[in-house]
Chain A
């Protein structure tokens, strides 16, 4: 379950522990206050004589100052706990992998950094990571403020245009962890999901090697026709496909798009009918999306879909 209470990373567990500690201490204080109030209400007044108006007994003043001090100590304790925890999550430890995440309206650009430029890898909406290794995410925004939040792995961190934030965490076990934009960013904010796919280090290395290489050119006639349609229409202006002349950087890269599990940032499962419907009229599925309806005939559309399906 994708919940903060079901953490799968040391960082997620630290946040969950803080939450439970706050609930426990806060709950204990609440019960104590209610209990003292009930005692005060129910206890029979000891002396019949009325209290002197305007003059507080010294014991009342001492109790007043004492209880404020108790509350102050508890809150200050949580303040220190929270600061220390937040700093430890801020990404000071040296990571084994650095990934640049750029938020766009409404999808995620994912870039794997490497000291060798040819080993840098760009993909979208699906973040493959090696399980058990610390990964540092550098967070940027291309247009408006977004927020990067994988509830089972770490807390939220905002992506702010013109500023680079970062968060580090490691997924303990292999699995697929869903994430979501957590800062309202426009019409399709709700349809801006991502997946962190944690794999064993060997599987991750294999995935990275396969995804770094361009897909082979299509062999069957329909897909080849689709490729020529893709290159001669508006598609190539916004999308990149590695190994071809399509070098657009406005939309998500389509290199190896068929290997991803969803379309349009987690909006639709990646199936042939969904892909066709999405290309034919994206605004019908995601109103407000910046991708326009393609100016394609039925045959051209079938060709483009057949071509995209070869990009495994």
Chain B
């Protein structure tokens, strides 16, 4: 019995892993070239690719995204996720798609009616960090990596307490 307990404890230790903190070097994924902006497809329906962004499961990068969100004044239009002049980011409505590559494209390219283009203003790595944070607001990223605390008054609990988003065919209205 005692031996089994020791064995189990030893096995659990092998599960320990230090989260990677990317301090230097190029981002893990290249920016996307094309973005699907409509849900209609000719031929058989293909479920859209839901590959996670490079930093989705990285808590340090998501926290950096949270910091950038206030430093770059995203909250000026989006509120603290609840929306204002710009659309809310913590609900399940996504005008230009909720996939990481779609959120990335919305930030880099800008969108009509006020969203500026951040191309050449933020690095690719910073944009991916913002993508991770923006998606964490509505529970689309792994729960363990979402920020635990907000620095501002929020209308809802911090991302880590947000329930996971129900899977749905993202990008469709």
Contact = CB atoms under 8 A, between A and B. Distances in A.
A234 B23 contact: no
Nearest to A248: B71
Nearest to A232: B120
B120 A234 contact: yes
Nearest to B60: A288
B38 interface: no
Contact of A293 (B21, B71, B72, B123): B123
Size bin of chain A's contact surface: 10 to 19
Looking at A233, A283, A288, A292, which has the most chain B CB atoms within 10 Å of its CB?
A292
Nearest to A251: B71
Give the dominant DSSP class at A's interface: loop
B123 A234 contact: yes
Contacts, number: 30
B23 A283 contact: yes
Nearest to B125: A292
Nearest to B70: A250
A288 B64 CA distance: 11
A290 B123 CA distance: 12
Given A250-B71, A290-B67, A292-B126, A281 B121 contact: no
Interface string A213-249: 0000000000000000000111001100000000000
A287 interface: yes
A295 interface: yes
A281 B67 contact: no
B53 to A, nearest CB: 17
Interface of A: 187, 232-234, 237-238, 250, 281, 283-284, 287-288, 290, 292-293, 295
8 contacts: A187-B23, A232-B120, A234-B122, A250-B71, A288-B21, A293-B123, A295-B120, A295-B123
Interface of B: 21, 23-24, 64, 67, 71-72, 120-123, 125-126
